């Protein structure tokens, strides 16, 4: 009897161990992250005032904001380099604020690549595994895999200063993920690369994310990059999140004029409130109905905002469903597939119009008169502050 | 106008520099040929060609003993100066220019004080003692003289090493101590080698403190000094020539390491 019990216990223990290791295998699916009211106050600045963000397992979230808005601070608090002044931060439901960076099991890619200058590419990538006392043969196998993933399989023996910027960035990436962290942080990883390389690396990063399945927090102040890469974007301003949403939500339904202006471009028409929840826009000489979302706001001035692509150049007759108005070209910016016109409306307001073009499309010179159709159904209304 | 004046003053500068260099080089150009002279006395121009004075140097236990002491003290001084200088450089890293200048100035103070005063002070303190204490004191004094060289060598390289390299090590799972041992130190190792070589020769060349403090021990410069006062044989020229050769080689090797240290970190 006693012997049977022992055997059962041993089996249980073995199962427990196996369950444990299988669980660790699943760890590749990424971790949930919950920032709750995280604050960071420096002597002169409030870097983060109340940062709350819930990130799903395996999600790709971008912190997008202008310089000084607190993106790096948020990332450093998660990485463990900066102590929060208040709030809580959990990874998979466990608080990690008391752990030093090396205990958090988070991968990170820095803007300056930050490769170890005295180590070869392979040694750089092996470093996290060597610290974890992984067996030599296993290290060799996993370093090989990681370098294959970033298409640098034959570069293991090179020194970092023998690589191009893009190659260094990929080594930094391989090093950050080789120990299979469930969370990967990237602080402007493409900031130092030229435009073509940036675009190529954006595709690569998307591919790595799909392959690895870890949760990614990506920091950038490039809105195009954020729109192209993210599952969700958190737009930041002055240590706060202005809006969180999918790229389409952020672009199509901005919550504030700040978000509308920061992500994409926008034309602003100031308007005055009139009785019956209406707004009068002198620049366009019209009165429109306000949507319910702004109808309750107290502000007397409400801005109507329209993206340049919702303003079209139309013929005399075919402005159907659009508000027609006359304008004069002031300047034309040739962008290849589009021409961006800066035009003046009759009332004097200057707006931007983007015109899709083909090789045969002539570019209208300054002074040309044209007729615009404004798609009023796509307009956004924000109370002026 | 200004360019012409600048060109003129830069030509003056070059001329001045060339004169100073010549002034420094002449004694070397005199001493090295004299060490190959066949005569029993120091002769210029040298007579004939012989390596016998070099042979005499290596056969004389007093010269060899002095060389041994010099090397020993210099190695110990460098072993003290480099870690101490690295600590100072780590403290100064990322500090404002004002703090760096004050600390470097304080370190350089030991060199601005005439060495003879330093040597006299040390002599007065250590006079009652014999045995190993004077050796320790001289070693520490040499280390102090070398310290500003170490800081001046290591600090710029350390400042060039992006902090995010060490942060990256932490994110890889390294404790602060592991990051320092496996990343920071190896990343700046060429600068440490350069600093070690310079420190070694600061001590190796130093006469005054060793002369005043040691009563029975001779270092190489002390031995040369003693020999000069007794009889001028070409052995001195041989010893001095070797000192010059070693120092020159060391400066080149040291400088090469420093250049390598910063070039490796340069393009990030
Ligand atoms: N160590 C510090 N000491 C004092 N203030 C700091 C410190 N680090 C950051 N700040 C301040 O906190 C605010 C947020 O800085 P943070 O680095 O998070 O901005 P960011 O969004 O990453 O900007 P960037 O796009 O320029 O990298 C800034 O106003 C900055 O001046
Ligand atoms: Mg930043």
pLDDT tens for A261-302 read 999 889 998 888 888 788 888 888 888 888 877 766 777 888
Which among A38, A46, A48, A68 is the best mutation to test ligand 1's pocket, defined by most ligand atoms within 8 Å of the CB?
A: A68
Cβ A161–B267 below 8 Å, yes or no?
yes
Assess whether pLDDT exceeds 70 at residue A316. no
For B171-239, the three-class secondary structure string (H helix, E strand, C coil) is: HCCCCHHHHHHHHHHHHCHHHHHHHHHHHHHHHHCCCHHHHHHCCCCCCHHHHHHHHHHHCCCHHHHHH
Q: Is B29 helix (H, G, I), strand (E, B) or coil?
A: helix
The mean pLDDT of A189-210, rounded to a whole number, is 87
Among protein residues, the one whose CA lies closest to atom 3 of ligand 1: A42
pLDDT digits (tens, 9 = 90+) for B174-229: 999 999 999 999 999 989 998 999 899 889 988 888 888 887 888 888 988 888 88
Q: How confident is the model at residue A231 (pLDDT cuts 50, 70, 90)?
A: very high
Q: Does B45 or B83 have the greater pLDDT score?
A: B83
CA distances from B142 to B136, B147, B205, B209 (A): 10, 9, 10, 8
- Mean per-residue pLDDT, A112-122: 92
Asked if the model's pLDDT at residue A308 lies above 70, the reply is yes
- Ligand with an atom nearest the CA of residue A65: 1
Question: Would you say residue B146 has pLDDT above 60?
Answer: yes
Q: Return the higher-pLDDT residue of B153 and B268.
A: B153
Distance CA(A84)–CA(A87), nearest Å, equals 7
User: What's the gap in Å between A70 CA and the centre of ligand 1?
Assistant: 6
Question: Which of A108, A113, A132 lies closest to B268 in CB terms?
Answer: A113
Q: What integer pLDDT is reported at residue B8 of this predicted model?
A: 67
Ligand 1 centroid – CA A69 distance (Å)? 7
B169 touches chain A (CB under 8 A): yes
pTM metric for this prediction: 0.80
Closest ligand 1 atom, residue A43 Cα: 4
**pLDDT band (50, 70, 90) for residue A28:** low
- Which pLDDT score, from 0 to 100, does residue B151 have? 92
Per-residue model confidence (pLDDT) at position A219: 96
Using an 8 Å Cβ cutoff, are B70 and B61 in contact? Answer: no
Confidence at residue B7, expressed as pLDDT on a 0 to 100 scale: 63
Residue A102 clears pLDDT 50, i.e. is over it = yes
Please give the residue that has the higher pLDDT: either B164 or B3. Answer: B164
pLDDT at A12: 37
Q: A344 vs chain B: nearest CA distance in angstroms?
A: 47
**pLDDT of the residue at A19:** 36
- Rounded to the nearest integer, the mean pLDDT of chain A is 86
Phi, psi of B102 (to 5 degrees): -60, -50
How much is the pLDDT for A218? 96
Nearest ligand to the C-alpha of residue A83? 1
Residue A44 CA to residue A51 CA, distance in Å, equals 18
**Confidence band for B2, pLDDT divided at 50, 70 and 90:** very low
Task: Determine whether the shortest distance from the Cβ of A69 to ligand 1 is under 6 A.
Answer: yes
What is the value of ipTM here, to two decimals? Answer: 0.80
Give the A:B interface size as CB pairs under 8 Å: 74
Q: What are the structural domains, with CATH classification, of chain B?
A: 61-267 (1.10.3720.10)
* Mean confidence (pLDDT) of chain B: 86
Chain A residues lying within 8 Å of B266, measured CB to CB: 161
A161 and B187 in contact by Cβ < 8 A? no
Phi then psi for residue B56, to 5 deg, are: -60, -40
Contacting residues of A for B189, CB less than 8 Å apart: 118
| Helix, strand, or coil (residue B242) | helix
- Facing B168 at nearest CB: one of A108, A131, A161: A108
Residues in A closer than 8 angstroms to B171, CB to CB, are 79, 101-102, 106-108, 176
Bridge partners, residue A269, by sequence: A304
Please tell me the predicted confidence (pLDDT) of residue A10. Answer: 40
Rounded Cα gap, residues A87 and B168, in angstroms = 25
Residues of B in contact with A110 (CB under 8 A): 164, 167-168
Per cent of chain B over pLDDT 70 is: 96
Q: Is A302 exposed, middle or buried (0-12, 13-18, 19+ CB in 10 A)?
A: buried
If one counts every other C-beta atom within 10 angstroms of the C-beta of residue A138, the result is 10
Pocket test for ligand 1, best of A63, A67, A72 (most atoms within 8 A of CB): A72
Return the pLDDT at B6: 61
B168, B184, B189, B260, best to mutate vs chain A, most A CBs in 10 Å: B168
Q: How far apart are the first and last CA of chain B?
A: 41
Q: What percent of chain A has pLDDT over 70?
A: 91
Mean pLDDT (whole number) for B70-87? 95
- When pLDDT is cut at 50, 70 and 90, the band that residue A317 belongs to is low
pLDDT value of residue A51: 94
Closest in A112, A131, A161 to B173, CB measured: A131
Ligand number nearest to the C-alpha of A110: 2
Give the integer Cα–Cα distance in Å for A144 and A156: 8
Ligand 1 lined by A220 (C-beta under 6 Å): no
**Cα-to-chain-centroid distance, residue B101:** 21
Q: How confident is the model at residue A246 (pLDDT cuts 50, 70, 90)?
A: very high
Taking CA–CA distances from A129, the nearest residue in chain B reads B172
Residue A27 pLDDT: 41
Whole-number pLDDT of residue B3:
54
pLDDT at B5: 59
For residue A79, the chain B residues in CB contact (below 8 A) are: 167, 171
Cβ-contact A332, A364 below 8 angstroms: yes
| Average pLDDT for A154-174 | 92
């Amino acid at each position: 009897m006693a012997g049977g019990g022992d055997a059962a216990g041993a089996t249980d223990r073995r199962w427990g161990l196996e369950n444990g290791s299988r669980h660790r295998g699943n760890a590749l699916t990424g971790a949930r992250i919950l920032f709750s009211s995280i604050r960071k106050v420096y002597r002169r600045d409030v870097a983060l005032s109340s940062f709350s963000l819930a990130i799903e397992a395996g999600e790709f979230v971008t912190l997008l904001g202008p310089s000084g808005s607190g993106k790096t601070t948020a990332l450093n608090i998660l990485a463990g380099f900066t102590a929060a002044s208040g709030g809580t931060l959990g990874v998979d439901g466990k608080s990690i604020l008391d752990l030093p960076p090396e205990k958090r099991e988070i991968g990170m890619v820095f803007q300056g690549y930050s490769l170890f200058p005295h180590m070869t590419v392979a040694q750089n990538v092996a470093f996290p595994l060597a610290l974890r006392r992984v067996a030599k043969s296993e290290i060799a196998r996993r370093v090989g895999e990681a370098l294959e993933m970033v298409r640098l399989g034959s570069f293991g023996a090179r020194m970092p200063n023998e690589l191009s910027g893009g190659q260094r960035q990929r080594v930094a990436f391989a090093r950050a993920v080789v120990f299979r962290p469930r969370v990967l942080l990237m602080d402007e990883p493409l900031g130092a690369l030229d435009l073509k390389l940036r675009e190529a690396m954006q595709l690569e990063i998307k591919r790595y994310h799909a392959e690895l399945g870890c949760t990614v927090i990506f920091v950038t102040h490039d809105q195009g990059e954020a729109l192209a890469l993210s599952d969700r974007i958190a737009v930041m301003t002055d240590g706060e999140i202005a809006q969180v949403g999918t790229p389409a939500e952020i672009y199509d339904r901005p919550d504030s004029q700040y978000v509308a202006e920061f992500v994409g471009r926008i034309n602003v028409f100031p308007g005055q409130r009139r009785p019956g929840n209406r707004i009068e826009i002198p620049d366009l000489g019209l009165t429109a109905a306000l949507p319910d979302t702004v109808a309750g706001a107290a502000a007397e001035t409400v801005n109507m905002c329209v993206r340049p692509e919702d303003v079209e150049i139309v013929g005399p007759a075919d402005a159907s469903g659009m508000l027609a108005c006359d304008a004069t070209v002031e300047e034309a910016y040739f962008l290849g597939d589009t021409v961006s016109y800066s035009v003046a409306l009759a009332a004097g307001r200057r707006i931007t119009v983007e015109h899709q073009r083909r090789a045969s499309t002539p570019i209208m010179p300054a002074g040309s008169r044209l007729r615009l159709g404004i798609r009023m159904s796509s307009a956004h209304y924000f109370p002026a502050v | 106008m200004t360019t012409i004046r600048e060109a003129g003053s830069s030509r003056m500068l070059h001329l001045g520099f060339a004169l100073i260099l010549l002034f420094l080089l002449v004694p070397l150009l005199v001493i090295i040929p004299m060490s190959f002279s066949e005569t029993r006395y120091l002769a210029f121009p040298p007579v004939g060609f012989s390596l016998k004075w070099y042979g005499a140097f290596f056969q004389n236990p007093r010269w060899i003993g002095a060389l041994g002491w010099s090397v020993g003290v210099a190695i110990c001084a460098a072993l003290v100066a480099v870690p101490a200088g690295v600590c100072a450089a780590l403290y100064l890293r990322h500090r404002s220019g004002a703090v760096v200048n004050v600390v470097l100035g304080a370190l350089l103070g030991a060199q601005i004080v005439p060495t003879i005063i330093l040597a006299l002070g040390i002599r007065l303190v250590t006079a009652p003692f014999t045995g190993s204490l004077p050796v320790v004191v001289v070693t520490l004094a040499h280390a102090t003289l070398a310290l500003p060289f170490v800081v001046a060598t290591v600090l710029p390289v350390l400042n060039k090493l992006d902090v995010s390299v060490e942060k990256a090590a932490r994110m890889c799972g390294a404790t602060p101590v592991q990051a320092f041992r496996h990343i920071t130190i190896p990343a700046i190792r060429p600068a440490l080698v350069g600093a070690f070589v310079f420190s070694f020769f600061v001590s190796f060349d130093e006469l005054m403190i060793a002369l005043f403090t040691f009563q029975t021990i001779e270092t190489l410069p002390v031995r040369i000094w003693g020999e000069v006062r007794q009889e001028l044989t070409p052995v001195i020229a041989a010893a001095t020539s070797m000192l010059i050769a070693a120092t020159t080689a060391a400066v080149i090797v040291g400088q090469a390491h420093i250049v390598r240290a910063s070039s490796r970190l340069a393009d990030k």
